[in-house]
Amino acid sequence: MWGAGVEGRANLRKLHELGVDAAVVDRSSYTLDDDTQVLAVDSEAGRAALYDADVVVKSPGISRYDDVVRHLEQRGVEVAGGIGLWLAEAPRDRIVCITGTKGKSTTTSIAGSLIRGLGHRCFVGGNLGAPPWDPEANTEVDYWVIEVSSYQATDVRIGPRVVAVTSLSQDHLSWHGNSVHNYYRDKLSLCTAPGVERVVANGEDVLLRAHSALLGPSVEWVAEMPGNWAAELQLLGEHNLRNAAVARRALVALGVAGAADDRAVADAAVDYEPLPSRLTMVGSIGGVDFVDDSLSTNVLPTLAAVDAFPNRRVALLVGGFERGIDYEPLADGLVPRADDVLVLAMPDNGPRIAAALRSVAGTPPVVECEDIAVATTRGYEWAQPAGVVLLSPAAPSFGRYLDYRARAAAFEEAMRGITSA
């Protein structure tokens, strides 16, 4: 077993349940809570464990393009992943897998909530929540809604009955061999896995349409906005409403009883609780709203977040971990909002984002800020009297923050600092 994070430990519990005594390899050597000794991958013992194995079950964070993975496969070692192993034996006619560059977590949570609201038992997990193959997970359910990342998609050899795709844009290029083509192909590989009968895709996504050949032969495009039932979800932004439409159509394709009934779905939507850090209102000061969209780590969701507030002044906080994505589309997308948006660029890649915006004529003004506290205060001053301070960074959180939650907490703390000043 290679990797001992959340999914790796779930893999280990499953292997133990199956009576498999697996060697465990990770980045460094340490001891797990159950006294299992973890070997460092760069050690002689760690490499020996990998190369002497018949099967290596790897964690998703380990790239399929990693040199060691390639060498293992060349030597005939089967390199598998937990989600692929689970799908091989799961009741695939009652599973929908949801993927996409952005919007997949929201779509997954909506689909799961609707299934439960319609009176069925549902497991929601995968990239969002618990791994469904974990023996500790409660899988005595009627349906499974599984979020699948591009990392996990490459581990799937047999697919579910229904796959839903929310969006497509550049992301995680370093994992995918620093190739946009590889990323698109890997991300959408789930759609053409054996066993997939229907792909439900966001018909308003231009890149998805352009790469329709990667979606397989049975695609149902969702181009219309959802009906009045979606108002019960209390979502901000047109893109989130489209996510809701994709979620519902996926449930209809799966054959979930009640999913085709508008009234039943409206009743089911009432209990939906939006996920944190996805266009989440966290406070208001003197008519200025503070919105946490810390999980927007790419250009596409950040532009969608800005569009969620038409006809309002938006102080947009961007910047985070540098991973080499192209920010010219962000600049182009913000040109129509040049008069009512102020961009506040934060470390670490804030200067590069600022440079990209300044290189395009007609973009909003940009102010480079030393940290999130300064950016939040500057944004509040500019957004008065009735604007929005929007944390939608178009970059990951790690580097300066442990994760998106820590970045969101820093944003909220900065907001509270304004009230106490």
The answer to whether position 107 is within a domain reads: yes
When divided into structural domains, the chain yields a total of: 3
Domain that holds residue 160: 90-269
Q: So what's the pLDDT on residue 399?
A: 83
CATH classification at residue 22: 3.40.50
* Positions of the chain with pLDDT under 70: 420-421
Same domain, 38 and 173: no
The answer to whether position 108 is within a domain reads: yes
Of 243, 269, 295, the one marking the end of a domain is 269
The answer to whether position 192 is within a domain reads: yes
Of 33, 49, 81, the one marking the end of a domain is 81
CATH classification at residue 287: 3.90.190.20
The answer to whether position 324 is within a domain reads: yes
Same domain, 290 and 172: no
Residue 21: Cβ within 10 Å count? 7
Same domain, 116 and 243: yes
Same domain, 261 and 296: no
Same domain, 115 and 257: yes
- In three-state secondary structure terms, 228 is helix
The answer to whether position 274 is within a domain reads: no
Burial status of residue 355 (CB atoms within 10 A of its CB: 0-12, 13-18, 19 or more): middle
The answer to whether position 1 is within a domain reads: no
The answer to whether position 286 is within a domain reads: yes
Contact 194, 122 (CB under 8 A): no
Same domain, 247 and 302: no
Contact 247, 110 (CB under 8 A): yes
Of 214, 242, 269, the one marking the end of a domain is 269
Q: So what's the pLDDT on residue 176?
A: 83
Same domain, 306 and 372: yes
Same domain, 239 and 294: no
Same domain, 120 and 213: yes
Q: So what's the pLDDT on residue 188?
A: 96
Tell me the backbone φ, ψ of residue 347, rounded to 5 degrees.
Answer: -60, 160
CA atoms within 13 A on the CB side of 104: 27
Same domain, 316 and 385: yes
Nearest to 302 by CA among 311, 293, 310: 293
CA distances from 30 to 24, 26, 27, 60, 193 (A): 10, 9, 10, 20, 37
Same domain, 350 and 206: no
- Give the C-alpha separation, 65 to 84, whole Å: 17
CA distances from 149 to 143, 183, 240, 281 (A): 20, 11, 19, 26
- Give the C-alpha separation, 333 to 363, whole Å: 9
The answer to whether position 394 is within a domain reads: yes
Same domain, 135 and 242: yes
CA distances from 302 to 296, 391, 395, 401 (A): 6, 9, 9, 19
Contact 246, 252 (CB under 8 A): no
CATH classification at residue 102: 3.40.1190.10
